Structure 1
Amino acid sequence: MASATQVTELLRAFVTNQDEHFLAVALQVAAHEANRGHVKVAAEMRDLIEKARTPSSPRAKSRAVPLAQPRGELAELLTVQYPQQHLSAMVVGESVTTRLERVLKEQRHHETLLGHGLSARRKLLLVGPPGTGKTLTASVMATELRLPLFVARFDSLITKFMGESASKLRLVFDALKSTRGVYLFDEFDSLGLQRGSQHDVAEMRRTLNMFLQLIEQDSSDSLIVAATNHGAALDSALFRRFDDVIRYDLPDEVQVSLLLRNSLSLLAPASFDYGGLVREGLGLSHSDIVKACADAMKDAVLDGRDFVDAERVRIHLHERAAGQKQLL
């Protein structure tokens, strides 16, 4: 029998159309039934889960969306994804949530705004430490607006040959006009370094100047999301080209507690003490906390237990913190 927590997770996944999460929870229920000796029921559940995951299943067909695939030279510059992350699942500060909700509201009513001579926010610069939700934000924007997520490949975009990077950048901005989507420029500091800095080179300066021109001239319906861990290193001229600059921070006590509860809910017993782990999580990023919880749950599964141990979570959080100190 599924626990109340697992039933809640199943309902949450169903309501928010998170099919893969729904199936993951169902698989946990099947494992629990197998451990209780209900082998036949567990096997039947696993068979149903496998059928649901096949591309030919009715459920898979019902959620299919038209695919927009970059072609030709553009295929080397952009990768496309169709994410399934929703804003309700994000754990970020209230100010960040409010500003993202504002962007979504304006985008959903962009035609109404246009009819009054107004433009919806669609050029976002996200600044903050690694692992705090910047890249996830682009996925959430794409999911909520039912748009493809295109990720710029800087390894192909930036070259050493004069004028080639700017030419490739122009191709990407042409794609913004022809295919509406969310276009993510991750690790944006690799492109937008302050002109005149010690890392400034002529080709990068030309590429940055081209980006400044293209983003200012762009009037497409696509969203542009640039994310960086090093806001102070960006050229000051970039900031005024964006409709909104959103700053992300490491999670506070409330957010750490919520991250722990969300991440451990599948295997945490009713008596689980989250409060004792919050202090261990302070100073870590959202990503580090989620990964530490996942490691602790994998330990439980591999050890043949259907519940997670708080001490294992604490150990993994401590290891993540120690790893961050070594990097610093």
Structure 2
Amino acid sequence: MATADQIKSLIRSYSEEDRERFYSIALQVAAHEAKQGHATLAHEIRELVDTHKRRAHQGLTVVPFPQELKGLVVSESPDIPFKSLVAPQTTLDRFNRVVKEFYQRGKLQQHGLSNRRRLLLAGPPGTGKTMSARVLAHELKLPLYTVQVDRLVTKFMGETSAKLRQIFDIMVQKQGVYFFDEFDAIGGDRAMDNDVGEMRRVLNALLQFIEQDQSDSIIVAATNNPKLLDLALFRRFDDVLYYSLPDEGERKQLIELVMGTFLASRFAWKKVLSGCDGLSQAEIGSACRDAIKEAVLHDRSKVSATELTTTLNQRRQVYSRL
């Protein structure tokens, strides 16, 4: 049966709402049982984990917005706790400030002040912008509404401003965290030579909507390239947070978080951390999960530094071919 440490880790991860760590430990228990010759039990545990993951993904549904906006906004109720976010302490502190101000917004309003409601997240792909929006929604106990900005522009060129107005009107009715990914698709610099008149009108409308928004919802916009954004947009946000590839300390923290009890007791950290060079948080996390899968499939309860370095190198090789 599962060891005492595994049982305690399962209970601890469940109480801390750390879903990924809970899954990781459960799969380790499955590997342990398989090694003991309990193949049926191991299979049942893996099936339970897979079923729970599928149900979690099924929580991603289309928001019951007006029919003409169907497919442009999706909704989910994230269960990713704050501790899962790996970022510089300054970034974590600023997110904590958003949460604190949200829960004490009544006190601020008594003094004519408002809580931070508009955040702009900028940085390379895979560095944690989308995850930050999910963590924020979980901490604020609000649904996350993701606006498919690229679809909004390509599908409704000529009607984009009207669709945006509808979304901002709904923010008043449906409180939540509204996440605008690929924000530069509608927030591009108006001075760019290749800009078209319609997109300039969209940007002007967007600036007005953000300025006039009086809802209790949180607006989070993300871009991979802040240099593409119009400078006027930056003044409309309460906070601008810049993301980057993880440093050595953040890499180690992320690996420990994802690997959990699969991490071997003797681990060649220097070799592994060096293998993370150039990889984003998302890519390192994926490499960790790949290594865990290999361990589970081979009925092993631990992942060595060599095995993790292998999956990290596989991720790096993708870029060497570009």
More moved, 27-36 vs 170-179: 27-36
For the 8 Å contact 1:82–1:147, the answer to whether it is kept is yes
Letter in 2 for 1:30: A
**Secondary structure of the structure 2 residue equivalent to 1:80:** strand
Distance 1:158 1:91, change over 3 A: same
2:199 to 198, 204, 212: 204
Distance 2:293 2:53 in 1: 22
1:322 aligns with 2:320: no
Partner of 1:31: 31
Instruction: Encode CA deviations 1:243-290: one digit per residue, 9 max, x unaligned.
Output: 100111111110111112222224222223333211111321101111
Contact 2:18 2:84 in 1 (8 A): no
Contact 1:147–1:181 (CA<8 Å) still a contact in 2? yes
Does 1:246 pair with 2:241? yes
- Corresponding position of 2:100: 105
1:214 equivalent to 2:206? Answer no
Q: How far apart are 1:182 and its partner, in Å?
A: 0.2
Deviations 1:162-216 (A, max 9, x none): 6411000101101111100000001111111111214411111111111001001
Tell me the TM-score normalized by structure 2.
0.88
Per the TM alignment, residue 21 of structure 1 is displaced from its structure 2 partner at its CA by 4.9
Aligned-residue offset at 1:299: 2.0
8 A contact 1:125–1:246 mirrored in 2: yes
CA distance in 2, matches of 1:19, 1:263: 10
Q: Secondary structure at the match of 1:150?
A: strand
Aligned AA for 2:25?
V
SS of the residue 1:126 aligns to: strand
Cα separation, 1, equivalents of 2:21 and 2:48:
15
> How many matched pairs?
318
RCO (CA 8 Å, sep 6+): is it higher in 1 or 2? 2
Paired amino acid for 1:14: Y
- TM-score (normalizing by structure 1): 0.87
**Structure 1 residue runs without a partner (length 5+):** none
- Measure how far apart 1:24 and its partner are: 5.1
Q: Which stretches of structure 1, 4 residues or more, deviate above 6 A after TM superposition?
A: 46-55
Q: What is the match of residue 85 of structure 2? A: 90
Counterpart-to-counterpart distance in 2, 1:44 and 1:297:
18
Q: Residue 239 of structure 1: CA displacement?
A: 0.2
Are 2:279 and 1:284 equivalent residues in the alignment?
A: yes
Question: C-alpha separation between the residues in 2 aligned to 1:196 and 1:208?
Answer: 12
C-alpha separation between the residues in 2 aligned to 1:326 and 1:5? 43
| Paired position in structure 2 for 1:232 | 227
1:140 to 135, 158, 180: 135
Is 2:291 the counterpart of 1:296? yes
Aligned CA distance change for structure 1 residues 39 and 285 (closer, same or farther; 3 Å)? closer
Alignment of 1:62-81 (within 5 A): 69-81=64-76
Check conservation: 2:31, 2:296, Cα contact below 8 A: no
Match for 1:174: what amino acid? D
Matched, 1:157 2:152: yes
Question: Unaligned stretches of 5+ in structure 2?
Answer: none
Task: Give distance in 1, aligned partners of 2:275 and 2:49.
Answer: 36
Q: 1:259 aligns with which of 244, 254, 260?
A: 254
Q: Distance in 2 between matches of 1:133 and 1:50?
A: 24
Greater Cα shift, 257-266 or 11-20 = 11-20
CA displacement 1:18-49 (0-9 Å, x = unmatched): 45753553243133113212457657767877
CA displacement, residues 77-122 of structure 1 (integer Å, 9 cap, x when unaligned): 2111111111111110011001000001001111221122110001
CA distance in 1, matches of 2:157, 2:278: 43
C-alpha RMSD of the superposition = 2.8
Instruction: Kindly provide the amino acid, as one letter, of the partner of residue 126 in structure 1.
Output: L
**Deviation string, structure 1 residues 130-181 (Cα, Å, up to 9, x no partner):** 1111111110111011100000012431147664110001011011111000
Opposite residue 302 of structure 1, the aligned amino acid is: L
Q: Which moved more, 1:217-226 or 1:39-48?
A: 39-48
Using the TM superposition, give the Cα deviation of residue 69 of structure 1 relative to its aligned residue in structure 2, in angstroms: 3.5
Q: Any idea what SS the aligned residue of 2:262 has? A: coil
Percent pairwise identity: 45
Q: Which residue of 1 aligns with 2:14?
A: 14
The reply to whether residue 174 of structure 1 matches residue 169 of structure 2 is yes
